[in-house]
Amino acid sequence: MTSIPSYLIDYIELYAQYPRESAIEWFRSARYGLFMHFGLYSLLGRHEWVQLREKIHVDEYAKLMDDFTAENFDAEYIADFAVDCEMKYINITTRHHDSFCLFKSDYTDFTSVNAPCGRDLIGELAEACASRGLGLCLYYSHGRDWRHPHAPNNGEWGRSARPDYDPPEPTYKYGDDQDLSIYLDFMRSQIGELLRNYGPIAAIWLDGIATPASGDYERFRCQELYDYIHAQQPQVLVSYKQGLLDTEDFLAPEHDAVDTEGRPGEICTTMTPKSWGYTKEAAGSHLNAEQIWAKLQEAGRQEYNLLLNTGPLPDGSIDAEDDAVLREVGARIRKEGFPG
């Protein structure tokens, strides 16, 4: 029998000849996915952009790593939760703009494995998804990095590529000392780790598009990266939000649909509309079941998937508000089918 990723088991004949086409067909039929933003910012509960918004310097922000335990991050629970909610895939922040990684990496020590957590959270989730036939999509911050010395600075790359520190952040490289290619090689190496170490991946989901789109985006060598990703795993799909090059496998705009020109589409939105990571002040104002149903209906009407985000609590557990409401929606899907 042809070896096939568990989430593509219903597409075995197509996969045997055209792996990526089978993945695209799977994606079109998936309809609904779970998005999770989890990282050091979750500990503060003040938005996933807290480092930039509050201009927390790199060394000071890194101290949060000492408190990152993720003691209640339970990959088995999360995967079962997604199944009960009638979701077909999970997308998680492997590395957000702060550059903290939820996986083991040979290219940085700034990871969950080196925190008190001591665990490879992506590895755990990969196993849980594979055993349940869920697609695993891996969010990776591409355009923004608030730690790497050679990542894009503000100026040519817009006003929010990095925190606007005064005085300037001493660990950053500026002017002639900055070499974007070093950062690009770092990203390629890490994405290679994700593709080599965690079994079949459904998608590499890139974020930070405003940065390359603000300057000469060809300097980011994105097509070269896309080709590299596709060469590592024949079925893996590539997305970069609403699309940078028009060669992405699917588009994933925030909150509202865009013209996909025939490609698959996914609306990504969040249970707490003003944030993606856990935010304390959002308690009691998360989406309710009717609001989620309306979003599913609108996505379905436009032939889009819905990728719905929850920000796990500082300990890694699913927010109780979201847990209850999303299970309620899952029960309604089983009873009535998908709307739209």
pLDDT recorded at residue 160: 85
pLDDT recorded at residue 158: 86
Residue 1 pLDDT > 50: no
Residue with tokens 């003040």: 46
**What are the pLDDT digits (tens) for 173-208?**
999 999 999 999 999 999 999 999 999 999 999 999
DSSP class per residue in 68-106 = ---TT--HHHHHHHHHHTT--EEEEEEE-TT--BSS--S
Tokens of 334: 């089983």
Residue 306: partners with Cβ closer than 8 Å, 6 or more residues away: 31, 32, 33, 266, 267, 269, 295, 296, 299
When mean pLDDT is compared across 2-6, 116-120, 154-158, the lowest value belongs to 2-6
Under the banding of pLDDT at 50, 70 and 90, the label for residue 159 is: confident
Residue 121 pLDDT > 60: yes
CA separation for the pair 163, 233 (Å, rounded):
35
Residue 65 pLDDT > 60: yes
Residue 78 pLDDT > 50: yes
pLDDT recorded at residue 100: 98
pLDDT recorded at residue 20: 98
The residue-averaged pLDDT of 33-39 equals 98
pLDDT recorded at residue 141: 98
> Class of the 23-336 domain?
alpha beta
Please state, rounded to an integer, the average pLDDT across all residues of the chain: 96
Are the beta carbons of 26 and 7 closer than 8 angstroms? Answer: yes
Q: Which residue spans within the chain are E strands per DSSP?
A: 32-36, 89-95, 135-141, 203-207, 237-240, 266-270, 305-310
